[in-house]
Amino acid sequence: MTNKTERFNAYRIMWVLVFFDLPTETKLERKIAGKFRKEILADGFTMFQFSIYLRHCPSRENAEVHIKRVKKLLPEKGHIGIMCITDKQFGDMEIFFGQKIKEPENPVQQLQMF
């Protein structure tokens, strides 16, 4: 039973990834880009790479809540992508530092109050 439950959770738990390329040529553009980064960090996203942020969500419904929040924060200019993947798909990703493979970090357990 545990194996079946773990498999179910791997497909139910979601990761939301936000990728962006924002203009930073002027002082105002840098301020807007910095504000966007700070706002998604405040919503629980963590930096994966400089312009890729991710957030662990316990369900598809919870992921949708955070996707809606990001959409409300979108700056007027720039190129932004939002992707939602399962925990299983995220776990299949290979991550490297140079030529050395790095094991993915376990997500921080987030408590939910109902």
Q: What is the pLDDT of residues 70-113, one digit of tens each?
A: 999 999 999 999 999 999 999 898 888 888 887 766 665 555 55
Output the CA torsion 29→68→37→102 (10° steps): -130
Predicted TM-score (pTM) of this structure = 0.80
Contact 14, 60 (CB under 8 A): yes
Q: Say whether pLDDT at 1 is over 50.
A: no
Residues 6 or more apart from 79 whose CB is under 8 A from it? 20, 21, 22
Q: What is the CATH number of domain 2-102?
A: 3.30.70.240
Instruction: Give the residue from 58, 55, 62 showing the smallest Cα distance to 17.
Output: 55
Quickly tell me which residue has 């376990």 as its tokens. 106
Q: What is the pLDDT of residues 33-76, one digit of tens each?
A: 999 999 999 999 999 999 999 999 999 999 999 999 999 999 99
Instruction: Give the residue from 104, 106, 108 showing the smallest Cα distance to 95.
Output: 104
Strand 14-21, strand 79-86: pairing = antiparallel
Query: Domains of the chain: which residue ranges?
Result: 2-102
